């Protein structure tokens, strides 16, 4: 395996927890009273007047894919011109927005926004693995609260297929996803779970050259990317909309097993696209949901 067993178990546990939190947040955004009254699944509005995009659920994957490609292009420009501060500010703003939306499912919006701002500021300007990973557990729930209500299972399935193919291209062919991951680690602002494998004492003390520091940062972290966490939540959320929370909880389990399969075959010093494995797990889980409905 690419990482030590203990680190792999930690990554898998955090990944699974993020998925379960994601669909739990979505469950809390369902307007139960209105749904029971009309018989049509209805979601609560987002906090502070934030509006979801008006999309046809059948074709929402087109909008999301376009937004991802546009965001990637902007990030690549930031990397090219080495605008690390701009990346940090962008990341802080998105962290603040998604955390606020996620936490507003459980508390008054004003309190949620205040805590989200503090957490985002600490996350970006005070490097701390505990704060970083705790917030990562909720960030993608906020995204799901925005997009799942304008999706269905078909569009989520197509999105997983597109992202899986794109992930393979971006890692194995163009390599730009690897460049993005390295840039994020070098800037100490990484979208996704990041677990230190070795101490970074020398790096923190500044006793190494910049090149050495970069190499140390890349080799001392075990990571699961933000997209790898976010997209399966979108899929599980659409399954929950049709089959309920309990059955949808199967999806995170099999998505985690897909990630485990990747870890088992991965080798040190190499980068791998995680989405094909995670997507395969999602589809197997969905198959079991369908099978359980037949039985």
**Domain extents in the chain:** 5-294
| Mean pLDDT, range 9-18, rounded to an integer | 98
Which tokens sit at 35? 């749904």
pLDDT band of 219, cuts 50, 70, 90: low
Q: How far apart are CA 101 and CA 95, in angstroms?
A: 10
Specify which residues 195 forms β-bridges with: 222
| Mean pLDDT, range 180-188, rounded to an integer | 89
pLDDT band of 207, cuts 50, 70, 90: very low
**Other Cβ atoms within 10 Å of 213 Cβ, number:** 17
pLDDT band of 68, cuts 50, 70, 90: very high
Closest CA to 192 of 160, 227, 242: 227
In which region does residue 244 sit, left (phi positive, over 0), alpha (psi from -120 to 50) or beta (all else)? left
Higher pLDDT, 204 or 168: 168
So what's the pLDDT on residue 206? 44
Tell me the average pLDDT of the chain.
Answer: 92
So what's the pLDDT on residue 269? 84
pLDDT band of 185, cuts 50, 70, 90: confident
In which region does residue 83 sit, left (phi positive, over 0), alpha (psi from -120 to 50) or beta (all else)? beta
What 3-state DSSP class applies to 155?
A: helix
Closest CA to 72 of 167, 158, 149, 148: 167
Q: pTM of the entire structure?
A: 0.92
pLDDT band of 295, cuts 50, 70, 90: low
So what's the pLDDT on residue 203? 40
Tell me whether strands 221-225 and 192-196 are parallel, antiparallel or unpaired: antiparallel
| Mean pLDDT, range 34-38, rounded to an integer | 95
Q: How far apart are CA 148 and CA 269, in angstroms?
A: 36
Q: How far apart are CA 123 and CA 133, in angstroms?
A: 9
Residues in the chain: 295
pLDDT of 142 strictly over 90: yes
Beta strands in the chain (DSSP E): 192-196, 221-225
pLDDT of 60 strictly over 70: yes
Q: How far apart are CA 94 and CA 151, in angstroms?
A: 21
Q: How far apart are CA 4 and CA 9, in angstroms?
A: 9
So what's the pLDDT on residue 144? 98
Cα distances (angstroms) measured from residue 12 to each of 7, 165, 262, 264: 9, 23, 11, 12
The per-residue pLDDT for range 90-126, each reduced to its tens digit, is: 999 999 999 999 999 999 999 999 999 999 999 999 9
| Mean pLDDT, range 221-249, rounded to an integer | 96
């Amino acid at each position: 395996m690419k990482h030590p067993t203990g680190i792999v178990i930690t990554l898998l546990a955090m990944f699974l927890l993020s998925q379960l939190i994601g669909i739990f947040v979505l469950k809390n955004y369902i307007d139960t009273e209105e749904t029971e009254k009309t018989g049509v699944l209805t979601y609560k509005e987002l906090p502070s007047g934030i509006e979801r995009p008006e999309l046809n659920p059948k074709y929402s994957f087109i909008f999301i894919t376009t937004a991802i490609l546009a965001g990637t292009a902007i990030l690549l420009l930031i990397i090219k011109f080495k605008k690390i501060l701009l990346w940090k500010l962008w990341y802080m703003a998105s962290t603040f927005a998604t955390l606020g939306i996620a936490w507003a499912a459980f508390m008054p919006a004003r309190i949620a926004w205040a805590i989200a701002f503090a957490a985002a500021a600490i996350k970006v300007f005070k490097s701390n693995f505990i704060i970083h990973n705790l917030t990562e557990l909720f960030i993608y729930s906020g995204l799901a609260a925005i997009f799942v209500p304008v999706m269905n299972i078909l569009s989520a399935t197509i999105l997983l297929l597109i992202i899986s193919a794109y992930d393979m291209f971006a890692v194995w062919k163009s390599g730009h996803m690897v460049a993005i991951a390295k840039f994020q680690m070098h800037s100490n602002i990484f979208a996704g779970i990041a677990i230190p494998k070795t101490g970074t004492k020398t790096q923190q003390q500044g006793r190494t050259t910049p090149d050495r520091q970069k190499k140390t940062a890349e080799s001392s972290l075990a990571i699961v990317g933000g997209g790898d966490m976010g997209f399966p939540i979108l899929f599980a959320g659409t399954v929950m909309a049709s089959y309920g929370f309990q059955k949808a909880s199967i999806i995170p389990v099999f998505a985690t097993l897909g990630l485990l399969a990747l870890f088992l075959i991965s080798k040190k010093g190499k980068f791998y696209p995680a989405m094909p494995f995670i997507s395969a797990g999602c589809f197997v889980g969905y198959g079991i949901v369908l099978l359980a409905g037949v039985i």
